[in-house]
């Protein structure tokens, strides 16, 4: 019979499980029928759930990650990660040949991760015009420090969950993200950012595969708006992330047309395959701006200022969950 993990080991596994299932403290409390303070004690390793609560917790995770079961909590780490559908870490290549991307990441890291994190680290909302459907959509993004490198993560409620390295180079933010669960989709994005100051709006384009049987590559314009700063408390950060992902799902379903000004939506060019202007537009008419220029150069009622205010208001409850 498999022995149950110790309390601290269980807490680490629980944090991993609810993150992969996109459940925050409030979501777990609601699903299991307990107070959020109890979930906080589980996550901190103070106590372990009763068998009854563990069963309810497992069922809540299984609804989002089919196949997950009670026995998985006690399995070896590799099997536990597999049950959560976490992909295996890639086998590192020869140290002498990291490749072009590896060299770029290493060079950018050498220039100062602290500077890049100060410029781009935080919680973001990225608006884009669908490659396949002629209407705007959005994903939530977070740029943070992970294992000594800058990492970007993107997620909406059902279509895309990507994660990968990011690096600041030539006043731009470069991101390479692989889809977390399926490992059959890869995206690459370049954002015009800030030379030295903290970025408030990012503007660029991404190349991704279409969510269609042909899986054809497509290029789309993205505009990122800073929703908030990074949180030091992992549990609070996860809860905020889950709330924002849920909120972006609601707005993707109901449509952004009624939530944001048409002037901003008109800046998202319709993504027509083969149209070279799709990639030129962010360069010639960029919306990117730093906190300094936003305060010093943007008009009091400028589009970027109005858009930041509107988006932060739309996500106000998600940014400060109960």
Q: Are residues 106 and 226 in the same domain?
A: yes
Q: Are residues 27 and 133 in the same domain?
A: no
Q: Are residues 209 and 60 in the same domain?
A: no
Q: Is 60 exceeded by the pLDDT of residue 238?
A: yes
Tell me if 285 is assigned to some domain: yes
- From residue 154, alpha-carbon distances to 123, 179, 295 in Å are 10, 9, 28
Q: Is 90 exceeded by the pLDDT of residue 279?
A: no
User: How many independent structural domains does the chain possess?
Assistant: 2
pLDDT above 70 covers a percentage of the chain that reads: 77
Taking the C-alpha atoms of residue 217 and residue 209, their distance in angstroms, rounded to an integer, is 4
Tell me if 93 is assigned to some domain: no
The pLDDT value recorded for residue 58 is 92
Question: Which residues 6+ apart lie within 8 Å of 149 measured at CB?
Answer: 105, 109, 113, 165
DSSP 21-86: TT--HHHHHHHHTS-HHHHHHHHHTS----HHHHHHHHHHHHHHSTT--GGGGGS-HHHHHHHTTP
Q: Are residues 70 and 128 in the same domain?
A: no
Of 141 and 158, the one with more pLDDT: 141
- The CATH number of the domain holding residue 48 is 1.10.260.40
Q: Are residues 247 and 278 in the same domain?
A: yes
- The CATH number of the domain holding residue 119 is 2.40.128.120
Q: Of 37, 55, 83, at which residue does a domain stop?
A: 83
For the chain, how far is it from start to end, CA to CA, in angstroms?
Answer: 40
The pLDDT value recorded for residue 2 is 40
pLDDT band at 153 (very low <50, low <70, confident <90, very high): very high
The pLDDT value recorded for residue 315 is 93
Name which of 10-24, 102-116, 131-145 the model is least confident about.
102-116
Domain that includes residue 71, residue range: 7-83
**Three-state secondary structure call for residue 174:** strand
Q: Of 55, 83, 111, at which residue does a domain stop?
A: 83
pTM: 0.64
**Which residue in this structure is represented by tokens 């290029």?**
219
The pLDDT value recorded for residue 109 is 55
Q: Are residues 79 and 119 in the same domain?
A: no
53 φ/ψ angles, rounded to the nearest 5 degrees: -70, -35
Tell me if 90 is assigned to some domain: no
pLDDT band at 280 (very low <50, low <70, confident <90, very high): very low
Q: Is 70 exceeded by the pLDDT of residue 156?
A: yes
Q: Are residues 126 and 78 in the same domain?
A: no
Q: Of 53, 83, 113, at which residue does a domain stop?
A: 83
Q: What is the mean pLDDT of residues 56-73?
A: 90
Q: Are residues 211 and 273 in the same domain?
A: yes
Tell me if 94 is assigned to some domain: no
- Bridge partner list, 186: 178
Question: Which residues 6+ apart lie within 8 Å of 162 measured at CB?
Answer: 153, 154, 155, 177, 178, 179, 180, 185, 187
How confident is the model over 182-216, as pLDDT tens digits? 656 678 899 988 877 899 999 988 887 655 555 56
Tell me if 91 is assigned to some domain: no
Q: Is 90 exceeded by the pLDDT of residue 307?
A: yes
The pLDDT value recorded for residue 143 is 95
Tell me if 89 is assigned to some domain: no
297 φ/ψ angles, rounded to the nearest 5 degrees: -115, -25
Q: Are residues 257 and 290 in the same domain?
A: yes
Of 215 and 160, the one with more pLDDT: 160
Q: Are residues 289 and 141 in the same domain?
A: yes
The pLDDT value recorded for residue 272 is 43
Q: Are residues 169 and 70 in the same domain?
A: no
Tell me if 137 is assigned to some domain: yes
Q: Are residues 284 and 204 in the same domain?
A: yes
Tell me if 2 is assigned to some domain: no
CA count, 13 A, side-chain hemisphere, 322: 6
């Amino acid at each position: 019979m498999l022995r149950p993990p110790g309390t601290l080991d269980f807490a680490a596994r629980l944090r991993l499980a609810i993150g992969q299932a996109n459940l925050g403290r409030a979501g777990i409390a609601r699903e299991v029928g307990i107070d959020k303070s109890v979930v906080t004690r589980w996550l901190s390793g103070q106590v372990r759930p009763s068998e009854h609560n563990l069963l309810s917790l497992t069922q809540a995770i299984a609804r989002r990650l089919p196949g997950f079961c009670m026995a998985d909590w006690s399995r070896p780490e590799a099997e536990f990660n597999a049950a959560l559908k976490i992909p295996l870490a890639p086998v590192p290549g020869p140290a002498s040949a990291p490749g072009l991307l590896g060299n770029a990441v290493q060079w950018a890291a050498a220039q100062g991760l602290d500077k890049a994190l100060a410029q781009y680290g935080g919680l973001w909302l990225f608006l884009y015009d669908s490659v396949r459907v002629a209407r705007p959509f959005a994903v939530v993004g977070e740029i943070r420090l992970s294992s000594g490198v800058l990492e970007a993560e993107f997620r909406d409620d059902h279509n895309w969950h990507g994660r990968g390295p990011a690096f600041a180079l030539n006043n731009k933010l470069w991101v390479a993200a692989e889809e977390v669960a399926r490992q059959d989709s890869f995206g690459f994005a370049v954002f015009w950012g800030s030379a030295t100051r903290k970025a408030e709006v990012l503007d660029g384009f991404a190349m991704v595969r279409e969510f269609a049987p042909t899986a054809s590559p497509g290029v789309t314009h993205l505009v990122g708006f800073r929703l908030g700063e990074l949180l030091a408390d992992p549990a609070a950060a996860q809860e905020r992330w889950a709330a924002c992902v849920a909120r972006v799902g609601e707005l993707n379903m109901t449509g952004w047309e009624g939530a944001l000004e048409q002037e901003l939506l008109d800046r998202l060019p319709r993504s027509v395959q083969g149209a070279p202007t799709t990639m030129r537009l962010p360069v010639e008419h960029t919306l990117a701006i730093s906190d300094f220029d936003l305060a010093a150069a943007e008009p009091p009622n400028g589009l970027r200022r109005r858009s930041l205010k509107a988006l932060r208001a739309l996500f106000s409850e998600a940014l400060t969950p109960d």
